[in-house]
Structure 1
Amino acid sequence: MSFRFPSLSTKVLFGVLATICATQAAMADGDRRMVPLLPQYKQECAACHLAYPPGMLPAASWKRVMAGLPKHYGTDASLDPATVKELSTWLGANAGTYKRVSEEPPQDRITTSSWFERKHREVAPDTWKRAAIGSRANCAACHTRADKGDFDEDNVRIPK
Protein backbone atom coordinates (compact mmCIF):
# COMPACT_ATOMS: atom_id res chain seq x y z
CA MET A 1 0.00 0.00 0.00
CA SER A 2 1.45 3.31 -0.96
CA PHE A 3 0.46 6.77 0.18
CA ARG A 4 0.19 9.48 -2.43
CA PHE A 5 0.29 13.20 -1.61
CA PRO A 6 -2.58 15.16 -3.11
CA SER A 7 -1.65 17.14 -6.17
CA LEU A 8 -1.15 20.87 -5.88
CA SER A 9 -4.45 21.53 -7.66
CA THR A 10 -6.30 19.33 -5.13
CA LYS A 11 -4.66 21.21 -2.24
CA VAL A 12 -5.61 24.54 -3.80
CA LEU A 13 -9.17 23.36 -4.39
CA PHE A 14 -9.54 22.23 -0.77
CA GLY A 15 -8.06 25.51 0.44
CA VAL A 16 -10.47 27.55 -1.64
CA LEU A 17 -13.45 25.47 -0.50
CA ALA A 18 -12.42 25.77 3.14
CA THR A 19 -12.09 29.55 2.78
CA ILE A 20 -15.50 29.85 1.11
CA CYS A 21 -17.15 27.74 3.81
CA ALA A 22 -15.53 29.73 6.61
CA THR A 23 -16.50 33.02 4.97
CA GLN A 24 -20.10 31.91 4.47
CA ALA A 25 -20.34 30.79 8.11
CA ALA A 26 -18.94 34.11 9.31
CA MET A 27 -21.32 36.06 7.07
CA ALA A 28 -24.29 33.99 8.18
CA ASP A 29 -23.55 34.66 11.83
CA GLY A 30 -21.96 38.08 11.46
CA ASP A 31 -25.11 40.19 11.76
CA ARG A 32 -27.05 37.73 13.85
CA ARG A 33 -24.59 37.81 16.69
CA MET A 34 -25.92 38.85 20.03
CA VAL A 35 -24.48 42.30 20.56
CA PRO A 36 -24.22 43.22 24.22
CA LEU A 37 -26.61 46.10 24.76
CA LEU A 38 -25.13 49.46 25.56
CA PRO A 39 -26.06 50.25 29.21
CA GLN A 40 -27.38 53.70 28.23
CA TYR A 41 -29.53 52.12 25.49
CA LYS A 42 -30.97 49.61 27.95
CA GLN A 43 -31.63 52.33 30.51
CA GLU A 44 -33.37 54.71 28.13
CA CYS A 45 -35.24 52.35 25.82
CA ALA A 46 -36.11 49.47 28.13
CA ALA A 47 -37.82 51.93 30.49
CA CYS A 48 -40.82 51.81 28.12
CA HIS A 49 -40.42 48.69 25.98
CA LEU A 50 -38.04 45.87 25.17
CA ALA A 51 -34.63 47.22 24.22
CA TYR A 52 -34.77 45.74 20.74
CA PRO A 53 -31.51 44.28 19.46
CA PRO A 54 -30.00 46.76 17.00
CA GLY A 55 -29.72 44.08 14.31
CA MET A 56 -33.50 44.06 13.92
CA LEU A 57 -33.48 47.22 11.82
CA PRO A 58 -31.14 48.62 9.17
CA ALA A 59 -29.05 51.69 10.00
CA ALA A 60 -31.26 54.05 7.96
CA SER A 61 -34.29 53.05 10.04
CA TRP A 62 -32.44 53.52 13.32
CA LYS A 63 -31.31 56.95 12.12
CA ARG A 64 -34.93 58.01 11.52
CA VAL A 65 -36.11 56.46 14.80
CA MET A 66 -33.51 58.44 16.73
CA ALA A 67 -34.26 61.65 14.82
CA GLY A 68 -37.96 61.25 15.62
CA LEU A 69 -37.75 60.74 19.39
CA PRO A 70 -39.98 63.75 20.20
CA LYS A 71 -42.79 61.89 18.38
CA HIS A 72 -41.63 58.31 19.00
CA TYR A 73 -44.64 56.29 17.83
CA GLY A 74 -47.00 58.69 19.59
CA THR A 75 -44.88 59.32 22.67
CA ASP A 76 -42.32 62.00 23.50
CA ALA A 77 -39.13 60.01 24.09
CA SER A 78 -36.79 63.00 23.78
CA LEU A 79 -33.25 62.63 25.08
CA ASP A 80 -30.42 65.10 25.51
CA PRO A 81 -28.26 65.61 22.39
CA ALA A 82 -25.22 63.80 23.83
CA THR A 83 -27.28 60.68 24.60
CA VAL A 84 -28.94 60.79 21.18
CA LYS A 85 -25.52 60.97 19.53
CA GLU A 86 -24.12 58.10 21.63
CA LEU A 87 -27.11 55.83 21.02
CA SER A 88 -27.36 56.73 17.33
CA THR A 89 -23.70 55.92 16.78
CA TRP A 90 -24.02 52.58 18.57
CA LEU A 91 -27.27 51.63 16.79
CA GLY A 92 -25.80 52.52 13.40
CA ALA A 93 -22.66 50.48 14.07
CA ASN A 94 -24.68 47.44 15.16
CA ALA A 95 -27.67 47.73 12.81
CA GLY A 96 -28.79 44.78 10.73
CA THR A 97 -27.09 44.42 7.37
CA TYR A 98 -27.90 40.84 6.46
CA LYS A 99 -30.47 40.08 3.78
CA ARG A 100 -33.64 39.82 5.88
CA VAL A 101 -33.06 43.15 7.61
CA SER A 102 -31.73 45.11 4.66
CA GLU A 103 -35.20 46.43 3.83
CA GLU A 104 -36.43 49.56 5.57
CA PRO A 105 -39.85 48.55 6.91
CA PRO A 106 -42.88 50.84 6.74
CA GLN A 107 -42.72 53.50 9.47
CA ASP A 108 -39.41 51.91 10.55
CA ARG A 109 -41.38 49.44 12.65
CA ILE A 110 -39.83 46.04 13.27
CA THR A 111 -43.35 44.59 13.36
CA THR A 112 -44.09 45.72 9.80
CA SER A 113 -40.96 44.25 8.26
CA SER A 114 -41.25 41.40 5.78
CA TRP A 115 -39.13 39.09 7.94
CA PHE A 116 -41.30 39.78 11.02
CA GLU A 117 -44.47 39.08 9.04
CA ARG A 118 -42.96 35.87 7.67
CA LYS A 119 -41.83 34.64 11.09
CA HIS A 120 -45.22 35.37 12.66
CA ARG A 121 -47.56 34.35 9.82
CA GLU A 122 -48.99 31.48 11.90
CA VAL A 123 -50.06 33.80 14.72
CA ALA A 124 -53.78 34.51 14.47
CA PRO A 125 -54.77 38.20 14.52
CA ASP A 126 -56.81 37.70 17.71
CA THR A 127 -53.72 36.39 19.52
CA TRP A 128 -52.06 39.81 19.36
CA LYS A 129 -55.08 41.31 21.14
CA ARG A 130 -54.82 39.09 24.21
CA ALA A 131 -54.38 41.10 27.41
CA ALA A 132 -51.11 39.32 28.23
CA ILE A 133 -49.67 40.26 24.83
CA GLY A 134 -51.22 43.62 24.00
CA SER A 135 -49.46 44.26 20.69
CA ARG A 136 -47.08 42.86 18.11
CA ALA A 137 -44.32 45.00 19.62
CA ASN A 138 -44.42 43.15 22.95
CA CYS A 139 -41.87 40.48 22.03
CA ALA A 140 -41.26 39.49 25.65
CA ALA A 141 -44.88 38.34 26.03
CA CYS A 142 -44.14 35.24 23.94
CA HIS A 143 -40.37 35.12 23.52
CA THR A 144 -39.30 34.11 27.03
CA ARG A 145 -35.67 35.14 26.47
CA ALA A 146 -36.28 38.29 24.43
CA ASP A 147 -34.64 40.41 27.12
CA LYS A 148 -31.42 38.51 26.36
CA GLY A 149 -31.74 38.97 22.59
CA ASP A 150 -32.78 35.32 22.14
CA PHE A 151 -35.80 34.90 19.87
CA ASP A 152 -35.36 31.20 19.19
CA GLU A 153 -38.64 29.41 18.47
CA ASP A 154 -37.81 26.82 21.14
CA ASN A 155 -38.34 29.51 23.77
CA VAL A 156 -41.74 30.74 22.59
CA ARG A 157 -44.69 30.43 24.96
CA ILE A 158 -47.86 32.13 23.75
CA PRO A 159 -49.96 33.30 26.71
CA LYS A 160 -53.63 32.33 26.94
Structure 2
Amino acid sequence: MKYLIFLTIFLNSLFAESYSSGRTDVAPVNNQLYIKECGSCHFPYQPGLLPTNSWKKMMVNLDKHFGVDATIAPEDFETLSKYLNDNSAEKNMQYKRSNRIVSSLLPGQEADSISTTPYMVQKHREIRKDLITQPDVKGLFNCMACHTTADKGIYSERAINIPNFGRWED
Protein backbone atom coordinates (compact mmCIF):
# COMPACT_ATOMS: atom_id res chain seq x y z
CA MET A 1 0.00 0.00 0.00
CA LYS A 2 2.87 2.39 0.82
CA TYR A 3 4.30 1.81 -2.64
CA LEU A 4 0.97 2.58 -4.28
CA ILE A 5 0.67 5.86 -2.36
CA PHE A 6 4.27 6.78 -3.23
CA LEU A 7 3.70 5.91 -6.90
CA THR A 8 0.51 8.00 -6.99
CA ILE A 9 2.25 11.02 -5.43
CA PHE A 10 5.23 10.62 -7.77
CA LEU A 11 3.08 10.39 -10.91
CA ASN A 12 0.96 13.35 -9.83
CA SER A 13 4.08 15.46 -9.30
CA LEU A 14 5.36 14.53 -12.76
CA PHE A 15 2.04 15.48 -14.34
CA ALA A 16 1.89 18.76 -12.43
CA GLU A 17 5.45 19.62 -13.47
CA SER A 18 4.82 18.88 -17.14
CA TYR A 19 1.65 20.97 -17.12
CA SER A 20 3.28 23.93 -15.43
CA SER A 21 3.60 27.06 -17.56
CA GLY A 22 7.09 27.61 -16.15
CA ARG A 23 8.73 24.43 -17.44
CA THR A 24 11.21 24.91 -20.25
CA ASP A 25 10.15 22.93 -23.34
CA VAL A 26 13.30 23.57 -25.33
CA ALA A 27 16.74 24.89 -24.35
CA PRO A 28 16.69 28.70 -24.44
CA VAL A 29 19.01 30.57 -26.80
CA ASN A 30 22.25 31.46 -25.02
CA ASN A 31 24.48 32.69 -27.83
CA GLN A 32 24.77 36.46 -28.22
CA LEU A 33 26.09 36.28 -31.80
CA TYR A 34 23.08 34.15 -32.78
CA ILE A 35 20.71 36.62 -31.10
CA LYS A 36 22.44 39.55 -32.84
CA GLU A 37 22.71 38.04 -36.32
CA CYS A 38 19.52 35.99 -36.57
CA GLY A 39 17.42 37.90 -34.07
CA SER A 40 17.95 41.17 -35.95
CA CYS A 41 15.51 39.96 -38.63
CA HIS A 42 13.28 37.47 -36.83
CA PHE A 43 12.69 35.66 -33.57
CA PRO A 44 15.91 33.83 -32.64
CA TYR A 45 14.51 30.32 -32.75
CA GLN A 46 15.93 27.83 -30.28
CA PRO A 47 18.33 25.42 -32.03
CA GLY A 48 16.46 22.56 -30.35
CA LEU A 49 13.49 23.19 -32.63
CA LEU A 50 15.22 21.57 -35.64
CA PRO A 51 17.57 18.63 -36.14
CA THR A 52 21.16 19.16 -37.29
CA ASN A 53 20.51 18.23 -40.93
CA SER A 54 17.85 20.96 -41.21
CA TRP A 55 20.10 23.61 -39.63
CA LYS A 56 22.96 22.63 -41.96
CA LYS A 57 20.70 22.94 -45.00
CA MET A 58 19.48 26.33 -43.80
CA MET A 59 23.00 27.62 -43.13
CA VAL A 60 24.42 26.64 -46.54
CA ASN A 61 21.54 28.49 -48.20
CA LEU A 62 21.82 31.80 -46.33
CA ASP A 63 22.04 33.65 -49.65
CA LYS A 64 18.44 32.49 -50.25
CA HIS A 65 17.17 32.49 -46.65
CA PHE A 66 13.39 32.58 -47.07
CA GLY A 67 13.72 35.06 -49.94
CA VAL A 68 16.41 37.21 -48.30
CA ASP A 69 20.19 37.27 -48.59
CA ALA A 70 21.29 36.59 -45.00
CA THR A 71 24.94 35.92 -45.81
CA ILE A 72 27.29 36.47 -42.87
CA ALA A 73 31.05 36.72 -42.38
CA PRO A 74 32.86 33.34 -42.65
CA GLU A 75 33.98 33.36 -38.99
CA ASP A 76 30.41 34.11 -37.86
CA PHE A 77 29.14 31.36 -40.17
CA GLU A 78 31.48 28.85 -38.50
CA THR A 79 30.55 29.98 -34.97
CA LEU A 80 26.81 29.92 -35.64
CA SER A 81 26.93 26.60 -37.51
CA LYS A 82 28.71 25.03 -34.54
CA TYR A 83 26.20 26.54 -32.08
CA LEU A 84 23.22 25.25 -34.07
CA ASN A 85 24.79 21.81 -34.51
CA ASP A 86 25.80 21.48 -30.85
CA ASN A 87 22.32 22.49 -29.66
CA SER A 88 20.10 20.92 -32.32
CA ALA A 89 16.98 18.93 -31.50
CA GLU A 90 18.52 15.45 -31.45
CA LYS A 91 21.20 16.70 -29.06
CA ASN A 92 18.58 18.09 -26.67
CA MET A 93 16.21 15.15 -26.39
CA GLN A 94 15.78 15.78 -22.65
CA TYR A 95 13.55 18.71 -23.66
CA LYS A 96 9.97 17.81 -24.52
CA ARG A 97 9.65 19.81 -27.76
CA SER A 98 13.05 18.76 -29.12
CA ASN A 99 12.23 15.13 -28.44
CA ARG A 100 8.82 15.35 -30.10
CA ILE A 101 10.13 17.20 -33.14
CA VAL A 102 12.82 14.56 -33.76
CA SER A 103 10.35 11.74 -33.11
CA SER A 104 7.90 13.17 -35.64
CA LEU A 105 10.39 13.07 -38.52
CA LEU A 106 10.87 10.05 -40.75
CA PRO A 107 14.44 8.66 -40.90
CA GLY A 108 16.52 10.99 -43.10
CA GLN A 109 13.71 13.55 -43.41
CA GLU A 110 14.87 17.17 -43.53
CA ALA A 111 12.48 19.86 -42.41
CA ASP A 112 12.75 23.09 -44.41
CA SER A 113 11.53 25.09 -41.45
CA ILE A 114 10.33 24.64 -37.88
CA SER A 115 6.72 25.26 -38.83
CA THR A 116 6.78 22.44 -41.40
CA THR A 117 7.93 19.69 -39.06
CA PRO A 118 5.20 17.06 -38.65
CA TYR A 119 5.07 17.79 -34.91
CA MET A 120 4.45 21.53 -35.40
CA VAL A 121 1.89 20.93 -38.14
CA GLN A 122 0.03 18.53 -35.81
CA LYS A 123 0.21 20.90 -32.82
CA HIS A 124 -1.35 23.77 -34.81
CA ARG A 125 -3.94 21.77 -36.77
CA GLU A 126 -6.92 22.95 -34.71
CA ILE A 127 -6.16 26.65 -35.05
CA ARG A 128 -8.22 28.39 -37.71
CA LYS A 129 -6.14 29.59 -40.66
CA ASP A 130 -7.45 33.16 -40.35
CA LEU A 131 -6.03 33.37 -36.82
CA ILE A 132 -2.60 32.29 -38.08
CA THR A 133 -2.51 34.52 -41.17
CA GLN A 134 -3.94 37.67 -39.57
CA PRO A 135 -1.65 40.76 -39.74
CA ASP A 136 -0.73 40.56 -36.03
CA VAL A 137 0.52 36.98 -36.42
CA LYS A 138 1.43 36.59 -40.13
CA GLY A 139 2.17 32.86 -39.92
CA LEU A 140 3.37 29.95 -37.84
CA PHE A 141 6.94 31.28 -38.11
CA ASN A 142 6.06 34.14 -35.71
CA CYS A 143 6.18 32.19 -32.42
CA MET A 144 6.20 35.23 -30.13
CA ALA A 145 2.93 36.52 -31.57
CA CYS A 146 1.00 33.85 -29.65
CA HIS A 147 3.49 32.03 -27.42
CA THR A 148 4.17 34.77 -24.88
CA THR A 149 7.06 32.89 -23.25
CA ALA A 150 8.67 31.45 -26.40
CA ASP A 151 11.80 33.53 -25.85
CA LYS A 152 12.36 31.58 -22.62
CA GLY A 153 11.93 28.22 -24.37
CA ILE A 154 8.45 27.76 -22.87
CA TYR A 155 5.70 26.88 -25.32
CA SER A 156 3.09 25.82 -22.81
CA GLU A 157 -0.54 25.95 -23.89
CA ARG A 158 -1.15 27.99 -20.74
CA ALA A 159 1.01 30.79 -22.17
CA ILE A 160 -0.77 31.11 -25.53
CA ASN A 161 -2.56 34.36 -26.25
CA ILE A 162 -3.62 34.70 -29.88
CA PRO A 163 -3.90 38.36 -30.99
CA ASN A 164 -7.49 39.45 -31.60
CA PHE A 165 -8.72 36.14 -30.20
CA GLY A 166 -7.38 35.68 -26.67
CA ARG A 167 -6.20 32.75 -24.62
CA TRP A 168 -6.11 29.44 -26.43
CA GLU A 169 -7.98 26.66 -24.65
CA ASP A 170 -7.98 23.10 -25.98
* Bin of the TM-score, shorter chain as denominator length: 0.7 to 0.9
Q: Which amino acid aligns with 1:47?
A: S
SS at match of 2:161: coil
SS in 2 for 1:86: helix
1:55-134 paired onto structure 2 within 5 Å? 55-97=48-90, 98=93, 99-102=99-102, 103=105, 104-106=109-111, 108-134=112-138
SS of 1:74's equivalent in the other structure is coil
State the partner residue of 2:14: none
- Which segments of 5 or more consecutive residues in structure 1 lack a partner in the other structure? 1-31
Give the share of equivalent positions with the same residue, in percent.
37
1:35 positional shift: 3.9
Higher mean alpha-carbon deviation, 93-102 vs 143-152, is at 93-102
Assess if the C-alpha contact under 8 Å between 1:105 and 1:112 holds in 2.
no
Moved over 6 A (4+): none
Give me the CA root mean square deviation.
1.7
Equivalent AA in structure 2 for residue 61 of structure 1: S
Residue 105 of structure 1: CA displacement?
4.6
The structure whose Rg is larger is: 1
Superimposed CA distance per residue, residues 103-149 of structure 1 (whole angstroms, 9 cap, x where no aligned partner): 2454x211111110111111111111211101110010000111222
Q: Normalized against structure 2, the TM-score is what?
A: 0.71
1:54 has 2:47 as partner: yes
Letter in 2 for 1:78: T
Give me the whole-angstrom Cα distance separating, in 2, the residues matched to 1:148 and 1:58: 19
